Structures are given as structure tokens and as C-alpha cells.
């Protein structure tokens, strides 16, 4: 299966794909478009895209409203900034609403919540994914597994001093995570993303154990995206 990750998942629809929207926090965080304009850029130094958006978004109520209107299989990325927010989010979010827990945003001045997340798991959700940092401690992966999570997205942007880095730099990080998780926990379902610019990149991720592929920065290049998508649906 092919996933379209944020920010493109918010705007782009392609048949036979799953959109990931977000990330959404409990409360509205202003300045999204201004922060995109001010910080999103291609870095020749790092050979990838850099942003420092920092979870600016319209809040979980906005996401739930989209879900209630569409009632589809979209996945909504959720970021938790305080452990006290967990029971409030559990109460608000519909049981069948597919979610991805973003525990690894690099553009925040506080640690994201890693404990108490198992409350989001229920049998009505097709997708309840943990999105991992590319340089996550393996002990944390073990913790998520023990909490009951079996779906992991490898990986989020790489923390650098200028913000979060996307692109080919992520590939070795993602490969190492997939190999570790699949070897230790073969019953997991893994989404591989980071540096997917051509069909061969997806094939390489499948070879090391990925079950699914996610794309994002390839969407900056419509020609590459169309070529990749044609190979995918073929």
C-alpha cells in the first residue's frame, strides 16, 4: 500500500493510496502558513528539504470534523504535547478514526509524550500507527511494542539545527529501523518513508522488510511523482 504523508496528505488525493493528514494537536496552534513560507526550503548543503513548522495546525476538533463529514479510511496524525491531553483526546476521537501517533516531531522545544499511548489502541481502528524518529533509541521501540503497537512508520524528519530534514539522508536511518524491528518483531506492519524518489527506492525498502511505502517530498516534482505512481499502480 502507498501512503501520502503530510503535508501533501492534507491536499493530494490519488486512487489506491492512503492519505495521512496532520499533524493535529489537542488545541489550535496558529501560524501554519507563515511558518511554511518562512522555513520550508531545499538545502543543497543537506541535499534535502528542511522545515521548522513545529506542529502549527487547526486542532483535533478540525480533524474530527473532516472525518465525520467524509467517514473514509484517511489516517489522522496526532501529536500529544502533555500527558494530561491523552484522556481528552481519547474521549474526542471516534473509535473507528484511523490515527498515526506522531511521537517524533523535531521542531518542538519540549519532549513529546511516549507513555500511556496504549489507550489509543482498539479493535475498531484499522490503523493505529506510531511514527518513529530516524534516530530513535531502540528501547523506545521495545516500549511501544510492549504497549501493544504493531504498526510503525519509519521515519519522521531528521533533527538538524535548522529544523527537520527530509529526503535521501533518511534512507539509511529508515533501513536500519526496518531491519531491527522486522527481525525482532516479525508480526509488525512497517511503513517505510524517506528519500523515495523512484520506484527502485520503494523496491529496496520492500527488500529489507517494509510492508508499505510512504511518499512526501517526491510530490514537489510532478514528473517524478507521476512516474512513481504509474509504477505503483502497475
Poorest-confidence range of 38-42, 105-109, 210-214? 105-109
Averaged pLDDT, 35-40: 68
Q: What is the CATH number of domain 2-233?
A: 3.20.20.70
Burial class of residue 92 in the structure, from the number of CB atoms within 10 Å of its CB (0-12 exposed, 13-18 middle, 19+ buried): middle
| pLDDT higher at 112 or 134 | 134
pLDDT of 145 reads 97
With pLDDT > 90 as the criterion, what percentage of the chain qualifies? 74
With pLDDT > 70 as the criterion, what percentage of the chain qualifies? 92
- Identify the H or E element spanning 214: strand 212-215
User: Domain residues of the chain, as ranges?
Assistant: 2-233
Which strands form 41-43's sheet, in the order they lie side by side? 41-43, 48-51, 163-167, 158-160
Please give the biggest Cα pair distance in the chain.
46
pLDDT of 106 reads 63
Nearest to 193 by CA among 159, 222, 169: 169
CB-based burial, 107-126: b 16+ in 10 Å, e otherwise: beeeebbbeebeebeeeebe
46: confidence class by pLDDT, cuts 50, 70, 90: confident
pLDDT of 53 reads 73
131, 137, 143, 149 alpha-carbon torsion, rounded to 10°: 20
For 156-215, what is each residue's pLDDT tens digit? 999 888 888 999 999 999 999 999 999 999 999 999 999 999 999 999 999 999 999 999
Q: Does residue 229 surpass a pLDDT of 90?
A: yes
Amino acid at each position: 500500500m502507498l501512503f501520502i504523508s503530510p503535508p501533501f496528505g492534507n491536499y493530494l488525493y490519488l486512487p489506491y493510496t492512503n492519505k495521512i493528514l496532520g499533524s493535529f494537536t489537542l488545541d489550535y496552534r496558529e501560524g501554519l502558513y507563515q511558518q511554511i513560507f518562512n522555513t520550508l526550503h531545499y538545502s543543497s548543503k543537506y541535499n534535502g528539504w528542511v522545515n521548522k513548522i513545529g506542529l502549527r495546525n487547526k486542532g483535533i476538533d478540525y480533524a474530527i470534523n473532516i472525518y465525520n463529514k467524509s467517514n473514509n479510511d484517511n489516517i489522522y496524525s496526532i501529536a500529544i504535547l502533555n500527558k494530561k491531553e491523552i484522556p481528552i483526546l481519547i474521549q474526542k476521537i471516534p473509535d473507528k478514526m484511523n490515527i498515526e501517533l506522531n511521537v517524533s516531531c523535531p521542531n518542538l522545544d519540549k519532549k513529546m509524550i511516549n507513555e500511556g499511548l496504549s489507550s489509543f489502541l482498539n479493535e475498531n481502528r484499522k490503523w493505529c500507527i506510531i511514527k518513529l524518529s530516524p534516530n530513535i533509541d531502540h528501547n523506545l521501540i521495545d516500549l511501544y511494542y510492549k504497549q501493544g503497537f504493531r504498526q510503525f512508520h519509519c521515519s519522521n524528519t531528521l533533527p538538524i539545527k535548522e529544523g527537520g530534514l527530509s529526503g535521501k539522508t533518511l534512507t539509511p536511518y529508515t533501513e536500519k529501523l526496518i531491519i531491527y524491528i522486522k527481525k525482532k518483531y516479525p508480526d509488525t506492519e512497517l511503513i517505510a518513508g524517506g528519500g523515495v524518489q523512484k520506484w527502485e527506492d520503494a523496491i529496496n525498502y520492500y527488500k529489507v522488510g517494509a510492508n508499505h511505502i510512504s511518499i512526501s517530498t517526491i510530490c514537489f516534482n510532478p514528473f517524478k511523482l507521476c512516474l512513481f505512481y504509474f509504477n505503483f499502480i502497475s
